[in-house]
Amino acid sequence: SLQMQLAERHEITVKTLESKRELQERVTDLQKDFERERKETFGITQDMTRQYKSMQEELLNRVNTLENTNTELRDQLELARVNFEEMKHDKDRIIAAKNLEIQELKAKMEEMAQEFGDMLKETLDKMRERIEITNTSFENDGGSLPMMRRLEEFNLGSPTKS
């Protein structure tokens, strides 16, 4: 029985050693798998980090480009506003000058019309005076001879001459 016990224990020891060896192999395989997975994960993480940094840099460049474009467009808009205001002031100044010129020309036309009216009135008054003198002279002379002389003086000629 001692021998049986020894044989049993030997068998148990062999099985235990076999089990231990299998477990050690399994642990070694798992450690290798773990290490391989860790390296793979590390490689993937590095790639993802590289991609993230690259995308972040691209986005920052794009944001900077868009901000620069926005600044340029705002500057152009402000310049256009300033030019527009200058043109508006110039236009208003020109319109005011033209309106003043129009008023001056209208006043001058009124003045000239008044002068022309006065000249016409003066001419009509002189003609009326001459006609009255001629009529008076004609009535006093009692004939048509002085009237003919007067017409000849004005170079109008007599009705009988052609």
**Distance between CA atoms of 86 and 78, rounded to whole angstroms?**
12
Q: What's the pTM value of the predicted model, to 2 decimals?
A: 0.45
pLDDT tops 70 at residue 22: yes
**Distance between CA atoms of 112 and 84, rounded to whole angstroms?**
41
**Distance between CA atoms of 139 and 134, rounded to whole angstroms?**
8
**Distance between CA atoms of 8 and 10, rounded to whole angstroms?**
5
Strand segments, DSSP code E, in the chain are none
- Band of pLDDT at residue 130, cut at 50, 70 and 90: confident
Q: What share of the chain has pLDDT > 70, as a percent?
A: 85
Rg (alpha carbons) of the chain, rounded to whole number: 63
Identify the pLDDT of residue 158. Answer: 46
**Distance between CA atoms of 91 and 68, rounded to whole angstroms?**
34
Q: What share of the chain has pLDDT > 90, as a percent?
A: 68
Identify the pLDDT of residue 161. Answer: 46
- Band of pLDDT at residue 131, cut at 50, 70 and 90: confident
